[in-house]
Amino acid sequence: MLYPGARGYKNVQASCNTRTKHIRIQEHADGFHYFAWPKEAGLSLKPELELKGALDVQGSAGNRLYTFRNSGFRYEFYSPTICDSSNCPDTLTVLRGEKEISSQACR
């Protein structure tokens, strides 16, 4: 069971847990969507945050940077492709303006 607003996606780009949240990034017909639930919450509940954003594929290695914006905050989800997840995990960084507020590995 998935929250109705999160249904209808083409594919799931990322689904993982930080220390405090469950993050899910999906590709929909109108672009990329970011969903964040409390870590222990079920995905059938309304997410705390739902944002629309963009993907930037970086360099020839194809590292992925998803960027989502909300009221002066920027959520950056970085997914490296060259190394395995045990030594360089996906990372969620939250910025206010250009100041980093939080950075958490995603497992």
Confidence of residue 86 (pLDDT cuts 50, 70, 90): low
3-state secondary structure 4-21: HHHCCCCEEEEEEECCCE
- Please state, rounded to an integer, the average pLDDT across all residues of the chain: 92
pLDDT of residue 82: 77
Model confidence at 84: pLDDT above 70: no
Lowest mean pLDDT: which of 56-60, 68-72, 76-80, 103-107? 56-60
pTM confidence score: 0.90
Question: What's residue 34's pLDDT?
Answer: 98
In this prediction, residues 27-52 reach a mean pLDDT of: 96
* Per-domain boundaries in the chain: 4-106
